[in-house]
Amino acid sequence: MFTLLKRAFRSGWKSLARDGGLVAANIFIMAMVIAMITSLFIFKDASDFLIEKLQEKVDISVYFKYETAEEDILKVKDEITNIPQVREVEYISKEEAFKRFTEKHQDNTVLMESLSEVGTNPFLASLDIKAFQANQYEAVATFLDDSNFDYLIEKVDYHERKPVIERIFALTSNFNKAGIVFSIILAIVAILVAFNTIRLAIYNSREEIKIQRLVGASNRFIRGPFLVQGAVCGFAAALICLLLFLVLTWGFNSKVEYLFPGLSLFQIFVGNFWLILLIQITAGVGLGMLSSLIAVRRYLRV
């Protein structure tokens, strides 16, 4: 067994040295394949971040009647916090609502003059509610409508925001579906490209394989060097791809952060470095050996 492995490695290395140009082409193609697979991993993390940020912008507000005591509002807040779909509830007092409004519109003199003419604080205390998913707000609104504290509520703005919430839910849902379809198509293309590239390399050795088969060499004896060659090409492609993504994520990080604040491709890469390395080496070596195994079968039939 040891002799067989030794011979497979020695023959595999000789084939690599002999077919230098073709091997370089194989490594280049496999690096592209591994880059596709790595892109899917980074794309998933980036898309999850963008979807989360998009959903964070969605909320509904519950406005309470002007005379409602703060103590009662805080009790309502505790009940809403216990709803399974609710992620966060923020209490905004009348004073805080007035302060936020004036800070936001302080440059609008007409609006500020109109507010001063009122003489009192016209704003209502409210609770801003954020759910985990955009499609969960309807359940929250139903709970509020059927609650035993609805007599304290002036209005719930869910129905006003419903069209926006539904558009965001549709957008995130379609984004997830598109990501899944894109991943499947890209994975199939990657496997086919890798297989056909290695198959082309093995095609050059078809006569040698047939001769070995005719003189009685076992299938395992013939396959060994090609499996080694496939594994080495895959490993080299994985290392090249790792270096490529390190440079690309670092180089484009500032541009991506400018377009999408908080999204750091370089941090995604560094934070998942060992997992990405494992994925790339597994994909490279696995595809190389599997493609070699499948491609060489054809020439073992004499």
Query: What digits encode the pLDDT tens for the residues 40-86?
Result: 778 777 777 777 777 667 778 888 888 888 888 888 888 888 888 88
Same domain? 203 vs 281: yes
Count of domains for the chain: 2
Please enumerate in sequence order all residues whose Cβ is within 8 A of that of 35, keeping only pairs 6 or more positions apart, or say none.
Answer: 241, 244, 245
Domain end call among 99, 130, 161:
161
Q: Is the pTM of this model over 0.85?
A: no
The answer to whether 239 and 285 are in contact (CB under 8 A) is: no
Residues 154 and 204 in one domain: no
CB atoms within 10 A of CB 74: 11
Residue 109 shares a structural domain with residue 198: no
Query: Domain limits at 90?
Result: 59-161
Helix (H, G, I), strand (E, B) or coil at 149: coil
Enumerate residues 6+ apart whose C-beta is below 8 A from 295.
195, 198, 199, 202, 226
Same domain? For 295 and 201 the reply is yes
Tell me which residues of the chain have a pLDDT lower than 70: 1-23, 55-56, 118-119, 172, 176, 179, 183, 186-187, 190-191, 193-224, 295-302
Q: Which of 106, 131, 161 is the last residue of a domain?
A: 161
| Res 301: pLDDT | 58
* pLDDT number for residue 197: 64
Does 182 lie in the same domain as 40?
Answer: yes
Give the domain-ending residue among 103, 132, 161. 161
**Does residue 40 contact residue 280 with C-beta atoms inside 8 Å?**
no
Same domain as 111, residue 71: yes
Is the same domain home to 218 and 276? yes
